[in-house]
Amino acid sequence: MEKRTFLKIVSAITASPAFSPLIAWAAGDKLKNWAGNVEYSTENMYSANSIHEARDFIKKQGKLKVLGTRHCFNKIADSADYFLSLKEMDEVIALDPQARTVTVAAGVTYGKLCPYIHAKGFALHNLASLPHISVAGACSTATHGSGEKNGNLATAVAALEFLTAAGDALKVDRQKDAELFPAAVVGLGALGVITNVTLDVQPAFLMRQYVYLNLPLRQMQDHFDAIESSAYSVSLFTDWQKQRINEVWLKSRVEPGQEFHATPDFFGAKLATRNLHPIAELSAENCTEQMGVPGPWYERLPHFRMGFTPSAGKELQTEYFVPRRHAVEAILAVERLRDQLTPHLMISEIRAIAADSFWMSPCYKQPSVAIHFTWKQDWTAVRALLPVIERELAPFHARPHWGKLFAISPEQLKAAYEKLPEFVQLARRLDPHGKFRNDFLNANIFGG
Ligand SMILES: Cc1cc2nc3c(=O)[nH]c(=O)nc-3n(C[C@H](O)[C@H](O)[C@H](O)COP(=O)(O)OP(=O)(O)OC[C@H]3O[C@@H](n4cnc5c(N)ncnc54)[C@H](O)[C@@H]3O)c2cc1C
């Protein structure tokens, strides 16, 4: 065994009673994010099995970051010192049918939670494109799905339990903590270690998913509102070429008054006759069932199936939120860059998201449309393109996705987030010595 690997395992064993998950990466590659584009700055990781263990660890460390399921494309989750993993703490703690809430430990993924609550007759209001991500990590970065009436995933949070930098337990409840709650839910990992999350649930429902091909750009431009309101969740996928939206994904609830009635033509787009991947060349095996086949909400709301690789795998992602009222103008501004974008792009996706009240959410007080880019994994090319896109979207005060790649300056972020100074004050109060701050947060939020 190499000396370095041996030391890694020894330090893992001495630091952690739950060292077994470490051996997988200790014996292999460096610790990286899901896409492999970020090599984390340390391999020191402690895996806690209980709140008690997490608290002891937090108290002992000067600096640390919680690592969720590692699906962010930038360094928001990075640490130069220590990682705390709550992966082993993934149990459903309580389902309260009267209050219509479910409380989960922070390590749980949507992929584990959703089938459980469905079997008990309940559902969440929305999901991201993939179920593989952790609930705590997704809510911390304002991860969203689609649907103009659906807030991002954090809008389902009814309460959060944290451990602060001092190791103290702090519960933040939507009803009881009206001031702290909107500050804490999209916390960017800067306020403390989330140990439990309570989410709103609703009665389980069935959904159908249809895909249409080749929506003319002109139709999108003239009928954007009608298209966005045609189903519970709407996704427009485009490679920006040929003046068209390549695929329109419509997810509707199988309920009176909510159903989408699929006709062969949808604003000039044609109903697909087989299941498709958003990147047309890839196999639809990884994707949730389409063609109007009814199925449980958690097997239709995400585009990708649990147990399969979501999206493409070797990729980079970027996403910008613009106010809904500027959606068409912003989309057309990006479309004008088509010949610069397409060589580096796998696919773009356009989604609508309802406004929310979370200070650091890109949808804070603003119904939004998100323009997303799944790039080929060529950081040099993508890094050169980001300022070009951001320049075009600047008139619309675009806000970047916190978990994806962007070049927007800290000054612009400050201008885009009216509550950012108050968020910084709160973080400094809860974490006076910057235990949970890293280079990403220092540069983008705390002003260097
Ligand atoms: C293939 C793919 C598809 C995606 N699709 C979507 C999509 O449809 N919509 C969308 O909005 N985003 C999407 N994303 C982005 C993704 O949802 C976010 O990056 C999300 O944050 C991932 O959660 P995670 O658990 O992997 O977070 P990580 O990357 O592990 O961590 C993210 C942040 O959360 C913090 N954190 C995690 N757990 C805790 C905790 N317990 N306490 C305190 N802080 C914590 C971390 O410290 C870090 O700051 C996609 C990403 C991929 C790779």
**pLDDT per position as a tens digit, 124-141:** 999 999 999 999 999 999
Of 243, 254, 246, 253, give the one whose Cα is nearest residue 212: 246
What is the distance between the alpha carbons of residues 245 and 290, in angstroms, rounded to a whole number?
Answer: 18
Query: CB under 8 Å to 421, separation ≥6 — which residues?
Result: 414
Higher-pLDDT residue of 335 and 447 is 335
Rounded to the nearest whole angstrom, what is the distance from the C-alpha of residue 410 to the centroid of ligand 1? 21
From 31, 66, 308, give the residue whose CB has the most ligand 1 atoms within 8 Å, as the site to mutate.
66
Query: Which atom of ligand 1 approaches the CA of 33 most closely?
Result: 29
Asked whether the beta carbons of 192 and 436 are under 8 A apart, the reply is: yes
Distance separating the N- and C-terminal Cα atoms of the chain? 41
Query: Which atom of ligand 1 approaches the CA of 153 most closely?
Result: 11
Closest CA to ligand 1's atom 53: 71
Name the average pLDDT for the chain.
Answer: 93
What is the distance between the alpha carbons of residues 270 and 261, in angstroms, rounded to a whole number?
Answer: 14
Of 175, 169, 168, give the one whose Cα is nearest residue 196: 169
Q: Give yes or no for residue 27 having a pLDDT over 60.
A: no
Q: pLDDT band at 433, cuts 50/70/90?
A: very high
Q: Give yes or no for residue 96 having a pLDDT over 90.
A: yes
Q: What's the confidence (pLDDT) of residue 311? A: 73
Q: Give yes or no for residue 5 having a pLDDT over 60.
A: no
Q: pLDDT band at 306, cuts 50/70/90?
A: confident
Rounded to the nearest 10 degrees, the angle between the axes of helix 327-335 and helix 379-393 is 140
Place of tokens 């893992």: 12
Asked whether the beta carbons of 67 and 45 are under 8 A apart, the reply is: yes
Rounded to the nearest whole angstrom, what is the distance from the C-alpha of residue 285 to the centroid of ligand 1? 24
Asked whether the beta carbons of 237 and 253 are under 8 A apart, the reply is: no
Helices (H), 361-400: 379-393
Q: What's the confidence (pLDDT) of residue 314? A: 85
Query: Which atom of ligand 1 approaches the CA of 370 most closely?
Result: 11
Of 127, 15, 108, 97, give the one whose Cα is nearest residue 69: 108
Helices (H), 152-229: 181-184, 217-222, 224-228
Q: pLDDT band at 110, cuts 50/70/90?
A: very high
Query: Which atom of ligand 1 approaches the CA of 142 most closely?
Result: 11
What DSSP string runs through 116-147? HHHHTTEE-S---S-S-SBHHHHHHTT----B
Rounded to the nearest whole angstrom, what is the distance from the C-alpha of residue 138 to the centroid of ligand 1? 4
Q: What's the confidence (pLDDT) of residue 448? A: 56
Q: What's the confidence (pLDDT) of residue 23? A: 43
Kindly state the tokens that stand for 100. Answer: 């219509």
Query: Which atom of ligand 1 approaches the CA of 310 most closely?
Result: 1
What is the distance between the alpha carbons of residues 9 and 27, in angstroms, rounded to a whole number?
Answer: 9
Q: Give yes or no for residue 290 having a pLDDT over 60.
A: yes
Rounded to the nearest whole angstrom, what is the distance from the C-alpha of residue 70 to the centroid of ligand 1? 7
From 127, 129, 133, give the residue whose CB has the most ligand 1 atoms within 8 Å, as the site to mutate.
133
Query: CB under 8 Å to 215, separation ≥6 — which residues?
Result: 227, 236, 244, 245, 248, 266, 267, 268, 269
Rounded to the nearest whole angstrom, what is the distance from the C-alpha of residue 217 to the centroid of ligand 1? 31
What is the distance between the alpha carbons of residues 40 and 409, in angstroms, rounded to a whole number?
Answer: 22
Least confident of 286-295, 304-313, 382-391: 304-313
What is the distance between the alpha carbons of residues 448 and 440, in angstroms, rounded to a whole number?
Answer: 9
Rounded to the nearest whole angstrom, what is the distance from the C-alpha of residue 218 to the centroid of ligand 1? 34
Tell me the mean pLDDT in the region 91-97. Answer: 97
Closest CA to ligand 1's atom 50: 71
Closest CA to ligand 1's atom 51: 71
Burial bucket for residue 190 (CB in 10 Å: 0-12, 13-18, 19+): buried
Q: What residues does ligand 1 touch, defined as CB less than 6 Å away?
A: 34-35, 65-72, 76-77, 86, 106, 128-130, 133-134, 136-138, 140-141, 143-144, 188-189, 193-194, 310-311, 401, 403
Closest CA to ligand 1's atom 41: 194
Query: Which atom of ligand 1 approaches the CA of 189 most closely?
Result: 44
Rounded to the nearest whole angstrom, what is the distance from the C-alpha of residue 71 to the centroid of ligand 1? 5
Q: Give yes or no for residue 85 having a pLDDT over 50.
A: yes
Tell me the mean pLDDT in the region 317-344. Answer: 98
Instruction: Write the pLDDT tens digit of every residue in 179-198.
Output: 999 999 999 999 999 999 99
Kindly state the tokens that stand for 41. Answer: 């700055």
The CA angle 427-179-422, to the nearest 5 degrees, is 40
Q: Give yes or no for residue 144 having a pLDDT over 70.
A: yes
Q: Distances from the Cα of 219 to the Cαs of 146, 148, 226, in angstroms?
A: 20, 18, 10
The CA angle 161-162-164, to the nearest 5 degrees, is 155
Q: pLDDT band at 205, cuts 50/70/90?
A: very high
Q: Give yes or no for residue 12 having a pLDDT over 50.
A: no
% of the chain with per-residue pLDDT over 90: 88
Q: What's the confidence (pLDDT) of residue 26? A: 52
Least confident of 4-18, 46-60, 161-175: 4-18
Rounded to the nearest whole angstrom, what is the distance from the C-alpha of residue 356 to the centroid of ligand 1? 19
Kindly state the tokens that stand for 202. Answer: 């609703």
Of 123, 133, 191, 128, give the one whose Cα is nearest residue 163: 191
Q: What's the confidence (pLDDT) of residue 447? A: 87
What is the distance between the alpha carbons of residues 67 and 275, in angstroms, rounded to a whole number?
Answer: 34
Q: What's the confidence (pLDDT) of residue 16? A: 41
Q: What's the confidence (pLDDT) of residue 256? A: 83
Q: What's the confidence (pLDDT) of residue 19? A: 39
Closest CA to ligand 1's atom 12: 143
Q: What's the confidence (pLDDT) of residue 210? A: 98
Kindly state the tokens that stand for 367. Answer: 């119904």
Q: Give yes or no for residue 376 having a pLDDT over 50.
A: yes
Tell me the mean pLDDT in the region 78-95. Answer: 97
Q: Give yes or no for residue 358 having a pLDDT over 90.
A: yes
Closest CA to ligand 1's atom 36: 137
Query: CB under 8 Å to 209, separation ≥6 — which residues?
Result: 249, 250, 251, 252, 288, 289, 290, 291, 292, 293, 300
Rounded to the nearest whole angstrom, what is the distance from the C-alpha of residue 259 to the centroid of ligand 1? 31
Q: pLDDT band at 434, cuts 50/70/90?
A: very high
Rounded to the nearest whole angstrom, what is the distance from the C-alpha of residue 404 to the centroid of ligand 1? 9
Least confident of 25-39, 242-256, 377-391, 399-413: 25-39
Tell me the mean pLDDT in the region 226-252. Answer: 97
What is the distance between the alpha carbons of residues 400 and 402, in angstroms, rounded to a whole number?
Answer: 6
Query: CB under 8 Å to 343, separation ≥6 — which residues?
Result: 381
Q: What's the confidence (pLDDT) of residue 309? A: 76
Closest CA to ligand 1's atom 52: 71
% of the chain with per-residue pLDDT over 70: 93
The helix (run of H) or strand (run of E) holding residue 327 is helix 327-335
Q: Distances from the Cα of 74 to the Cαs of 37, 160, 377, 404, in angstroms?
A: 8, 25, 13, 6
Tell me the mean pLDDT in the region 81-89. Answer: 97
Query: Which atom of ligand 1 approaches the CA of 143 most closely?
Result: 11
Q: Give yes or no for residue 14 having a pLDDT over 70.
A: no
Query: Which atom of ligand 1 approaches the CA of 109 most closely?
Result: 25
Q: What's the confidence (pLDDT) of residue 8? A: 42
Q: pLDDT band at 258, cuts 50/70/90?
A: confident
